Structure 1
Amino acid sequence: MEVEHFSHPDHPLILINQVLEYSCELVICSGCEGPIWGPCYSCTCCYFFLHKQCAELPREIKRRIHPRHPLHLLAKPPSHYTGCVCDRCDKTCNSFVYHCSFCEFDLDIKCAFQPGFSDADSQAHQFAHKDHPLILNEEQEYHGAGVVCSLCKEPMSGPSYSCTSRNVFLHKKCAELPPEIKRHLHPEHPLVLLPNHDTMCDFCNETCYENFVYCCFVCEFTLHIKCAFPPCLDAADQNHFRRLLNPLSLKSISFTCNACCTDGDGFPFGCPMCQLVVHEECISLPRTLKTALHHHPRIIHAYHPQQCIESINKYCGICRREVDSNYGVYYCPDCDFVAHVDCSREYGDSATEIAGENEEEQSVVVDDQLMKPSFRIVLEIKHGEERIIVEIKHFSHRHNLILIDKVDDDLKCDGCMLPISTPFYSCASCNFFLDKTCSIELPRQKKWQYHENQLILSWNQGEHHLHKCGVCKQYFRGLIYFCDVCPLCVDVRCFKSILKDSFKHGGHEHPLYLPADRKSILRCRIGGRGVPPLLADDRENIPHCSGCCVSEESKVFLKCARCDFKLGMKCATLPYKARHEYDDHPLFLTYINENNYQPSCIICEKDRDPKLWFYRCEECDFDAHPECALGKYPYVKPGGVRTYPNHPHPLALVVKTEDYRSQACDTCGEPCDDLALECTDPNCSFIVHRQRVQCLMSLW
């Protein structure tokens, strides 16, 4: 590897893994003047070496000890120096040095990258008094005159840190100040805790006499500790807001509300200590809400979301539009969900809070999450600190299920009917399998945000009983969530996809969401078959699925907030891998037709649209329509042997195609080319349409 380095412009440097011996002399780094033992950069034309880390030093840095200007890396001290001394360790610098030309300030590279000195991860007491350890005293109070905090200069009282050998005292809250904060008064950049050099506070315009201030490197913006942490900031008591009037006239004031991020024009309320300006109606915003559009129990209001959320989502979890994190939002303390205040109020209800000893111990009473498990633990083992559930008794099966970590490519989960993945639970007595999600992660009862009633996890009644999912409109056997008030039922394959706020699919680069409008929320209320008929004006706005270009009349579709991509639930839940008897290899769901040709389906031999999704085997150059590759009933598992009273042998569920037209139904005489029940006795040719089972049962 060859590089050009500013410290050696005449020749390129080459990275070598070990130092070459030069007449048995010790090889010295030209950057830090230390010996080189490991990888380094070397010049093949002259005696010049650099440690790998010295060669890769940044050309510009910023440090707390010199916050006003950046420091630039020089290969040698400035030429006008008679001697260069590091301003931190007072040692002479002869080689690489970080230099400020405005202040004639210098740092050698060891001091510039001293552990804990360059990173903003130390609390105040760790660099306010680094000579001796500070001892925490939770109870002692100081009433004597002249005993003040070394940071804020206020009298000492309550819990504190102290160093008795140097007579240093710090309030507990001062000693534990965060190294970096964000404030609405200066939203462009974070403010870093730094030692004070008699600077002026940009909020109160007074000289700071505290030992530390919060400063922005880029803008040279400074805040007192007191101004950075006003006592009423985000307080539950809203009495600190006062009406603001235009001092020059009685004209209205144009502003952006810090609570809800909407524009206002009038006479707002404000708090100079919190640096907040709000609408009058936003003073009484509920601190906590619960919303049907989010699966966690509560969302909390924050004026400064940067201080509450480690990773702020840029898009509202309800309307999917962008969120300005410099203004107030509702956020979820359990995940990265955020929402506009107006959206939260439209789709939320105030949560009931039970006050604990302090605000951190408050809990929210909710009645929409009944987390009754769907299984009972039979055996579990401990592997280190991890608990592994080895054997369970699941409500859907009569035998115990055992954890397995090896899988056959052709196995399907009996819960969701998708190809199974490890680890999974298996029955040792019969051909029954459940993947980990379906077996131990699904609760018996769950509130879905798009339905007003609880949904209950259940198992298909009867070996040959099928359900039609109210979301994807597919027939299936397996686990279902159903409503005991209205006829809605959802298979777990769809339910796992739509349970969370967003859905990431391999066929699209952006997250997908269920639309959050009133029609969507009300579509599954009591009446009809779970999804009411479309009105005439709604039919004109039926979206077309980007995967199959078929309109979704159920109006259950996923939408991208950033582009015009829409995905029907039938395509959204297609299995990634499929098997077909015409190919020995697995077929994989493919979203883009790489070659620009008019392709055809190998199975039906009809042309297919190259813009639509298909299944493909690269090894055999095998392309197929999804419906051809999967069949008419991809989520119905054949088998399920059951004995009927009017037939002496057990019957099994089978899927017949047009190739079996010679077999006629023993009840109606028509060819069986769909779902049928077939006798398992090889000497008996009895077969009947599944729909005709009711006819049989009426005769019994």
Structure 2
Amino acid sequence: MEVEHFCHPDHPLILINQILEYSCELVICSGCEGPIWGPCYSCTSCYFFLHKKCAELPREIKRRLHRRHPLHLLAKSPYEGNYRCNRCDKSFNCFVYHCSFCKFDLDIKCAFQPGFLEVDSQAHQFAHKDHPLILNEEQEYHGEGVVCSVCKEPMSGPSYSCISCNFLLHKKCAELPPEIKRHIHPEHPLRLLPNHHMICGFCKETCCESFVYCCFVCEFNLHIKCAFPPCVYAADQDKGHQFRSLLNPRSLKSISFTCNACGTDGDDSPFGCTMCQLVVHEECISLPGTLKTALHHHPQIIHTYQLQQGIESINKYCGICRREVDTEYGVYYCPDCDFVAHVKCSIEYGDSATEIVEENEEEQSVTVDGQFMEPSFRVVREIKRGEERIIEEIEHFSHQHNLILNDKVDDDLKCDGCMLPISTPFYSCASCNFFLDKTCIELPRRKKWQNHENQLILSYNQGSHDLYQCDVCKQDFRGLRYTCDVCGLWIDVRCFKSILEDSFKHGGHEHPLYLPADRKNILRCSNGGRGFAPWETDDGEIIPHCSGCCVSEESRVFFKCVVCDFKLGMKCATLPCKAIRHEYDDHPLFLTYINENDYQPSCIICEEDRDPKLWFYRCEECDFDAHPECALGKLPYVKPGVVVTFRKHPHPIALVDKTEDYRPQEKKACDTCGEPCDGLALECTDPNCSFIVHRKRRQCWKSLIW
């Protein structure tokens, strides 16, 4: 890639993917004066280098540090000699953002440095709107009299400060949410406003802080300390709340209430926390703060009385029963992903599937997501670029040669692990046509799946023409698979990546999709064979056709949408978004969900009409439309080209695809049955040998073995 850059107008700059040394010298960027380890632009005519990120800096920026005018990127200081940055007061002689009107300068590190982020919060606008506030993560303030301008508490830890005047804010005070909801006032949200000596509706004291949370409808106020009481945070560690009965022990009267811990109605004697105004069932006082469940792939789910700002999930449906969750009340949520669950659902599955997570430092050092993670590769060579660790060469169990990190993508390449079009970064073999994308490399050798009783093992048959049928999607495949030693279960890693999560967002539908999570549908090991039992709806009927292809799949494994009547079979759920180029078109084909044309569409490959409501593959540039089965072929997840040596044949044998589109003169007759070889075949690689047999007919190719 060649570009012309304003800082080096005499010669064009060429993009280099990686550079480690140049004439045995450390290569320095002319833009930031830092060492270059990764992608960069260089001049082939002279000694000039730029980091890729430095070459792509915007020519103009605006910063609250200098509100009057925009700052323009210059190749060097407009002054004689070195210049000084107005932010850090250090001198440099490289790229600078400059204002010619005010003689204001920012070096590029200060212009984009994460440690000096500017705050633009509601608290900042109310308390100190004249100047920007800069984040300082490390500075400690000592001595008496140095207090936060909002809460009036002593300053310590991360803070925001004004470089123009003596104004300081705790980081937590500067980043107060503009709106909150609290159990003490559930009817309306409370908004952050400047304080005008208001009376707190909880403690009945005059608010002394600079801010207060107010309800415009009810004129209800909460000052900051009551809006964020200490036990609200302690409750996440299953301690801090002091519950007591809200009724006189001598009274037999019961009251109706909604439990803040589990979100269900109660009609008995409630218990409450007077500080936080929480009302709970007696049995909910002892709810475990942390649970471990087999129905979720992460190690723990955490109980909270209300999802707060910053951890609130976009998912409003229970990960177990798939019904709507009211996050204004108590739920269990996953700190690592978008998973929430009703308290009752989590506890119901706790008898045999959940347990309190115990801290074990030794176990955590060798586990990820609560299970032992044995890597599927060994590192042969790696480099460090600053703090980044890059693995350049590996030894993977699935291949006899070492694999090298690669970033040169070819639209016709397939990953030998998942058989999908390759994407960067990926690893390739320098000796043969073998590729693995990064997601397949990172798959653990052993994995516990929440929908199966036993641990699954990542497997691959080297040097084999064997085909397997996935027990989830019922399609033939080659490549990596997860297997169970007890029941012989086979799951293609392409399917496994889709069903590993509790839900996933597909480009063909606007809402999250889920696999049914009922315990009866867990795939159990037995001697009676393997595979999924039919998924059933609540009324006992088999789930209807897939919304992507309008076919009732043999596997009966469907993703369901809890918002609308959308169901997606595994075949459609795992279709590649980008298909490898078809011989009838020069460009890759992309999976398309909606036909925007008004005319009756047809498939260019088979020349038959398409249903405009069903998914298809399309090339916009060529106006090329095709059925998914036509675009991908009969065996889309089988990669031809594997070469194997058999004892019964003197030459190596290759797996080839003799499709129906081959011209008659190119079709060879099977050496065993005499019929033309259409589809997958085993063909001799020696050009002087015409041996070929059908692959899918056992009676044709068994002579190679016996």
- What letter matches 1:331 in structure 2? Y
Aligned residue for 2:440, secondary structure, equals: helix
Residue aligning to 1:215 = 213
Residue aligning to 1:90 = none
Q: Aligned pair 1:489/2:490, yes or no?
A: yes
Residue aligning to 1:583 = 585
- What letter matches 1:684 in structure 2? C
Residue aligning to 1:202 = 201
Aligned residue for 1:377, secondary structure, equals: strand
* TM-superposition CA deviations, 1:11-59 (whole Å, max 9, x none): xxxxxxxxxxxxxxxxxxxxxxxx99889xxxxxxxxxxxxxxxxxxxx
Residue aligning to 1:436 = 438
Q: How does 1:325-474 map to 2 (within 5 A)?
A: 325-348=327-350, 349-354=354-359, 368-439=370-441, 441-474=442-475
Quickly say closer, same or farther: Cα 1:400–1:695, change in 2 above 3 A: closer
- What letter matches 2:672 in structure 1? T
Q: Distance in 1 between matches of 2:619 and 2:486?
A: 45
Quickly say closer, same or farther: Cα 1:598–1:292, change in 2 above 3 A: same
Residue aligning to 2:183 = 184
| Gaps in structure 2 of 5+ consecutive residues | 1-66, 72-117, 160-169
Q: Aligned pair 1:119/2:125, yes or no?
A: no
Among candidates 262, 284, 287, match of residue 285 of structure 1: 287
Residue aligning to 2:523 = 523
Residue aligning to 1:305 = 307
> How far off is 1:536 after superposition?
10
The answer to whether the 8 A contact 2:474-2:554 is kept is no
* TM-superposition CA deviations, 1:197-221 (whole Å, max 9, x none): 2x433124x3337557743163532
Among candidates 652, 674, 683, match of residue 688 of structure 2: 683
> How far off is 1:477 after superposition?
1.0
Aligned residue for 2:392, secondary structure, equals: strand
* TM-superposition CA deviations, 1:394-431 (whole Å, max 9, x none): 12111111111111211111111111112211111111
* TM-superposition CA deviations, 1:341-399 (whole Å, max 9, x none): 1222233412232399xxxxx99999852222111222222223322222211121111
- What letter matches 1:350 in structure 2? E
Among candidates 628, 632, 635, match of residue 633 of structure 1: 635
TM-score by length of 2: 0.69
Residue aligning to 2:6 = none
The answer to whether the 8 A contact 2:532-2:557 is kept is no
Residue aligning to 1:696 = 702
The answer to whether the 8 A contact 1:602-1:622 is kept is yes
Identity among equivalent positions (%) equals: 71
Quickly say closer, same or farther: Cα 1:619–1:695, change in 2 above 3 A: closer
Q: Distance in 2 between matches of 1:485 and 1:176?
A: 57
- What letter matches 2:677 in structure 1? C
The answer to whether the 8 A contact 2:123-2:174 is kept is no
Q: Distance in 2 between matches of 1:369 and 1:568?
A: 29
> How far off is 1:257 after superposition?
0.8
> How far off is 1:694 after superposition?
8.6
What is the RMSD computed on CA atoms of the aligned residues? 4.3
- What letter matches 1:216 in structure 2? C
> How far off is 1:137 after superposition?
9.0
> How far off is 1:449 after superposition?
1.8
> How far off is 1:434 after superposition?
1.1
| Gaps in structure 1 of 5+ consecutive residues | 1-34, 40-114, 142-147, 162-171, 357-361
- What letter matches 2:323 in structure 1? R
Quickly say closer, same or farther: Cα 1:674–1:226, change in 2 above 3 A: closer
Quickly say closer, same or farther: Cα 1:284–1:656, change in 2 above 3 A: same
Aligned residue for 1:353, secondary structure, equals: coil
The answer to whether the 8 A contact 2:241-2:273 is kept is no
Q: How does 1:612-627 map to 2 (within 5 A)?
A: 612-627=614-629
- What letter matches 2:571 in structure 1? K
The answer to whether the 8 A contact 2:258-2:280 is kept is yes
- What letter matches 2:530 in structure 1? G
The answer to whether the 8 A contact 1:306-1:312 is kept is no
Residue aligning to 2:47 = none
- What letter matches 2:464 in structure 1? E
Q: Distance in 2 between matches of 1:387 and 1:403?
A: 13
Q: Distance in 2 between matches of 1:535 and 1:223?
A: 50
Q: Distance in 2 between matches of 1:122 and 1:385?
A: 36
- What letter matches 1:468 in structure 2? Q
The answer to whether the 8 A contact 2:546-2:567 is kept is yes
Count of residue pairs the alignment pairs up: 560
- What letter matches 2:415 in structure 1? C
* TM-superposition CA deviations, 1:160-195 (whole Å, max 9, x none): x9xxxxxxxxxx999999677653213432464865
Residue aligning to 2:88 = none
> How far off is 1:298 after superposition?
0.3
Aligned residue for 1:305, secondary structure, equals: coil
Q: Distance in 1 between matches of 2:565 and 2:637?
A: 29
Quickly say closer, same or farther: Cα 1:230–1:540, change in 2 above 3 A: closer
Quickly say closer, same or farther: Cα 1:533–1:178, change in 2 above 3 A: closer
> How far off is 1:698 after superposition?
8.8
Aligned residue for 2:630, secondary structure, equals: helix
The answer to whether the 8 A contact 2:381-2:392 is kept is yes
